[in-house]
Amino acid sequence: MVAQESGGATRSITVDYEFPEPPEAVWRALTEPGLLARWLMPGDIRPVVGHRFTLQAQPAGGWDGVIRCEVLAADEPRLLRYTWRGGAQEVDGYGHLLDTVVTWTLRSREGGGTHLRLEHAGFRSEDEFAWRALGSGWRTKQASLAEAVTAAG
Amino acid sequence: MSQPAISQHLAVLRGAGLVVDRRVGRNVFYRARPEGLGPLIDWIDRYEGFWRAHLRSLGNLLAEGAGQDGGAGVGRGDALDHRGL
């Protein structure tokens, strides 16, 4: 119903981190549920393309805290990519509705450590404008706008 | 696009704080307001803070020996926090 599907600008977060441990150890921490739960969130992750799993975050507002993921790419111990979907429209900031993709890239460093890059992509600018600036009136405003644009051809 | 449709678009942008208008006689002039993008940047910043905090936890976990063969949290005695960022 919301006519904002096409071509909306998105933003992404990139964080680089270096560890003295080798990529194999970092990979295990990213992909084994027992380890992942100890630094990120509990969830039934498996590094297999097509595998669907959930992560349990802190609930916020009208959101139950469940992040729904599907593995898009898995190349041990170099690349892991999965969807990161969850949240609720009415939650502002962290916990807001997201349909994003998380990519982990691991590279060996000289001397045996790991360079880890996280990219979290797909933040939609219009979501934030909507809830910050217009509050709950946004849906009706946007529907009106969509009608107006449709009527205008 | 029709003039009323353009007006509706501009009204939404004005409501979101992304443009300001100035009336001169029968004309209305609109000016972009880039600082209106601030809330989005705040939002991204908060998520980035979330990741940085959790990556620090990952670093601490690895330093305890988790992820090593046979290691599940057994300290190696060198868990100094020498990680950047």
A113-123 per-position pLDDT tens digit: 999 999 999 88
Instruction: Give A26's contacts in chain B (Cβ within 8 Å).
Output: 58, 62, 67
| Residue type at A126 in one-letter notation | E
B26 to chain A, closest Cα gap in Å: 23
Here the tokens at position A114 are 């790991």
Residue of A12 and A101 predicted with greater confidence: A101
- Predicted TM-score (pTM) of this structure: 0.66
CA distance B65 to B77: 10
Here the tokens at position A33 are 């549920």
Instruction: Give B68's contacts in chain A (Cβ within 8 Å).
Output: 21, 25
Here the tokens at position B3 are 């003039």
Residue of B41 and A131 predicted with greater confidence: B41
Here the tokens at position A13 are 């977060």
Tally A–B CB contacts below 8 A: 116
CB contact under 8 A, A93 and B16: no
CA distance B58 to A32: 13
Instruction: State ipTM.
Output: 0.74
Q: CB-based contacts of B32: which residues, under 8 Å, 6+ apart?
A: B18, B19
pLDDT of residue A127: 59
Beta strand segments in B1-85, E: 19-24, 27-32
Instruction: Give A152's contacts in chain B (Cβ within 8 Å).
Output: 1-2, 4-5
Residue B67, pLDDT above cutoff 60: yes
Residue of B nearest to A12 (CA): B44
Q: CB-based contacts of B62: which residues, under 8 Å, 6+ apart?
A: A19, A21, A25, A26, A29
Nearest partner of A90 among A138, A136, A57, judged by Cα: A136
Residue A3, pLDDT above cutoff 50: no
Q: Examine residue A77 and say whether the peptide bond preceding it is cis (omega within 30 degrees of 0).
A: yes
CB contact under 8 A, B43 and A16: no
Position A26 confidence tier, pLDDT thresholds 50, 70, 90: very high
Q: CB-based contacts of A20: which residues, under 8 Å, 6+ apart?
A: A112, A113, B63, B82
Here the tokens at position A63 are 């959101």
In order of A9, A42, A52, A151, the CA distances from B2 in angstroms are: 24, 52, 45, 9
Q: % helix / strand / coil in chain A, to the nearest 5?
A: 30, 40, 30
Instruction: Give A145's contacts in chain B (Cβ within 8 Å).
Output: 8-9, 12
